[in-house]
Structure 1
Amino acid sequence: MIPFNRALPYDLVMGDIYVSECPFCGKENVLVPMKPNELESVRDGKKKLLVFPCCHHKLTVLDSDEDYLLTDTIVRH
């Protein structure tokens, strides 16, 4: 079962990955430092450290699908 409290929704827009809201500081429409080819490597089992540019909080992306990034941190309550 997918732990939805650790799933972060994202959007892919013109080759950039955005999250609708930073789970740490609440800033909206955050461009995250991750590229679409890194999404594929995460799906293949490679972990990705993600540092949010708005507040510099970190989390690790463990897996992804077409809509969500599965993280090691609780991002939703």
Structure 2
Amino acid sequence: MLDFHHSWPYERVANDIYFEECPFCHESPVLIPIRKKAVDAAFEGIKTHIVMPCCHESIIIENMDSDYIWATDALR
């Protein structure tokens, strides 16, 4: 089971994924630079790496569901 401290909510608008607020620099809203192929892999539990465009912090997505990304490091 994944720890809730390692999760962050996201919104999907068409094919784009947004964070309401960056977990690192708190900029709002942030378009996440992730391809559909990487999203599909994350839904299957394959680790995916993203770099936040606002502050260049790195997140390794361990899993993804319809509401949250689950990262290897704590985001909260």
TM-score by length of 2: 0.90
Q: For residue 49 of structure 1, what is the aligned residue in structure 2? A: 49
Q: Which residue of 1 aligns with 2:31?
A: 31
Shift of 1:35: 3.0
Give, in angstroms, the shift of residue 2 of structure 1. 3.1
Q: Which runs of 5+ in 2 are unaligned?
A: none
Q: How many residues align?
A: 76
RMSD between aligned residues: 1.2
Question: What per-residue deviation string (whole Å, max 9, x for no partner) do you get for residues 6-54 of structure 1?
Answer: 0010111021000111011010110011134422211223211110000
> Which position in structure 2 is the counterpart of 1:7?
7
Contact kept? 1:17, 1:35, Cα under 8 Å: no
CA separation in 2, counterparts of 1:36 and 1:29? 20
Flag as ranges the 4+ runs of structure 1 deviating above 4 A: none
- Residue type matched to 2:2 in 1? I
CA distance in 1, matches of 2:46, 2:22: 23
CA distance in 1, matches of 2:35, 2:28: 19
User: Which residue of 2 is the match for residue 74 of structure 1?
Assistant: 74
Normalised to the residue count of structure 1, the TM-score between the two structures is 0.89
More strand as a share of residues:
1
SS in structure 2 of the partner of residue 21 of structure 1: coil
1:51 counterpart letter in structure 2: V
